[in-house]
């Protein structure tokens, strides 16, 4: 009898060194659900991104490839303003889905690849950081507490909380002081910071452009329920333990910390802007080419509207960008 993905995931969770007394910390649970070599969501040969049969849309999954054109135009503007030759900086992409890439001909780092960034490049990524495991915290009883998932022999789950560590408490009090309200939640990924730090520490020069569901610390302090969510068959979910290994689990990374890392490693012009604003400011000539087509049925124009309209992806996604020459 073939083992289902859900059965396999629960087997891995219960055999994990982090599973004790029927409990596992949320980030370790998510790590297994998303990245287990045998049953993880991102390891499976399945269609995750796109239309029918997928779980969610993203900018790079749109068929006309307008997203890549706009990214290329934006990168060129960085080079023009810095007096650099864009031909000296090939594109490299981190985290592409199997068989896909945003910019044709770019060097691609997929899941499991060693990320060794070229000495000169335009480094791009789409939803890399929100795909990392994250911890959940709740301000409860006048202090920060950390979420664990507790399960019984039938894999029925509930969320329980234990006191956060001294280091975690200090971090949350310093970085999210306005969230110190009873019941307030903060979802935060320390692994995402570690990955980004490793990227910026490497000895390379060029432009970095990452698209994701970034939010500032101030905005996160205005979202009392946190940002953890799931997507399955284009439907939003709130309980991350449902359909383990078969659903995307994600959150909104805090852009402030990534900007701090960029600055610490010598990057300039670092910012995180709404996707709409970023492309209008940096890809105006390419946008003009697309909208100049007189046909009202032109698919590239429709795709452009999806990417920059605030009602679609224009406000949902933000672009983190910086340069180091």
Angle between helix 255-264 and 190-201 (nearest 10):
30
Residue 193 is encoded by which pair of tokens? Answer: 């910071």
- Computed on alpha carbons and rounded to an integer, the radius of gyration of the chain in Å comes to 20
- H runs (alpha helix) in 101-241: 166-175, 190-201, 217-220
What's the residue count for the chain? 325
Please tell me the distance from the alpha carbon of residue 25 to that of residue 37, in angstroms, as a whole number: 19
Tokens 């730090």 belong to which residue?
Answer: 197
Domain ranges of the chain: 46-133+197-215+252-325
User: 63 — phi, psi (to 5°)?
Assistant: -70, -30
Specify the pLDDT at position 311: 77
User: 25 — phi, psi (to 5°)?
Assistant: -65, 145
Query: Looking at the domain that runs over 46-133+197-215+252-325, which CATH code has it been given?
Result: 3.40.50.12710
With CA atoms as reference, report the closest residue to 67 among 79, 57, 82.
57
Tokens 């995180």 belong to which residue?
Answer: 272
Spatial CB neighbours of 10, under 8 Å, sequence gap ≥ 6: 151, 155, 244
Which pTM was predicted? 0.93
Specify the pLDDT at position 190: 98
Specify the pLDDT at position 216: 98
Please tell me the distance from the alpha carbon of residue 96 to that of residue 60, in angstroms, as a whole number: 9
With CA atoms as reference, report the closest residue to 22 among 137, 156, 187, 162.
156
Please tell me the distance from the alpha carbon of residue 275 to that of residue 282, in angstroms, as a whole number: 11
Q: Cα separations (Å) of 167 from 19, 170, 171, 196?
A: 22, 5, 6, 20
Contact 133, 31 (CB under 8 A): yes
- Give the Cβ contact number of residue 105 at 10 Å: 8
Specify the pLDDT at position 3: 74
Specify the pLDDT at position 50: 65
DSSP letters spanning 106-120: -EEE-TT------SE
With CA atoms as reference, report the closest residue to 106 among 16, 214, 207.
207
Spatial CB neighbours of 107, under 8 Å, sequence gap ≥ 6: 90, 91, 92, 93, 118, 121
67 has pLDDT over 60? yes
Taking all residues of the chain, what is their mean pLDDT, rounded to a whole number? Answer: 93
253 has pLDDT over 60? yes
Please tell me the distance from the alpha carbon of residue 143 to that of residue 117, in angstroms, as a whole number: 41
Contact 13, 153 (CB under 8 A): no
Residue range 25-54: mean pLDDT, rounded: 86
Instruction: Point out the least confidently predicted range of 43-57, 79-93, 105-119, 158-172.
Output: 43-57
Summarised one tens digit per residue, pLDDT across range 216-227 is 999 999 999 999
Specify the pLDDT at position 49: 66
H or E element, residue 27: helix 26-35
Specify the pLDDT at position 98: 84
């Amino acid at each position: 009898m073939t083992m289902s993905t859900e059965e396999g995931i629960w087997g891995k969770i219960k055999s994990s060194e982090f599973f004790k007394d029927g409990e596992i910390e949320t980030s370790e649970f998510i790590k297994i659900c998303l990245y287990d070599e045998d049953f993880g969501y991102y390891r499976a040969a399945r269609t995750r991104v796109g239309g029918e049969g997928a779980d969610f849309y993203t900018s790079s999954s749109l068929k006309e490839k307008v997203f890549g054109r706009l990214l290329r135009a934006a990168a060129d503007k960085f080079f023009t303003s810095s007096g650099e030759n864009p031909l000296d900086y090939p594109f490299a992409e981190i985290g592409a889905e199997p068989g896909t890439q945003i910019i044709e001909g770019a060097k691609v780092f997929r899941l499991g690849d060693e990320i060794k960034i070229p000495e000169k490049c335009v480094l791009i990524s789409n939803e890399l950081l929100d795909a990392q495991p994250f911890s959940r915290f709740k301000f409860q009883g006048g202090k920060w507490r950390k979420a664990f998932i507790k399960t019984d022999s039938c894999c029925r789950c509930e969320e329980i909380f234990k006191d956060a560590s001294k280091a975690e408490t200090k971090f949350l009090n310093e970085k999210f002081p306005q969230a110190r309200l009873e019941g307030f939640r903060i979802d935060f990924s320390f692994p995402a910071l570690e990955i980004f730090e490793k990227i910026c520490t490497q000895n390379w020069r060029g432009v970095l452009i990452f698209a994701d569901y970034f939010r500032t610390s101030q905005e996160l302090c205005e979202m009392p329920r946190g940002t953890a969510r799931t997507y399955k068959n284009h439907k939003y979910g709130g309980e991350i333990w449902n359909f383990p290994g078969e659903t995307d689990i994600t959150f909104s990374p805090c852009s402030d910390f990534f900007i701090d890392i960029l600055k610490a490693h010598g990057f300039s012009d670092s910012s995180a802007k709404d996707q709409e604003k970023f492309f209008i400011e940096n890809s105006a000539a390419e946008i003009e080419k697309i909208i100049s087509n007189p046909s009202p049925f032109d698919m590239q124009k429709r795709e452009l509207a999806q990417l920059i309209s605030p009602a679609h992806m224009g406000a949902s996604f933000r672009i983190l960008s910086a340069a180091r020459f």
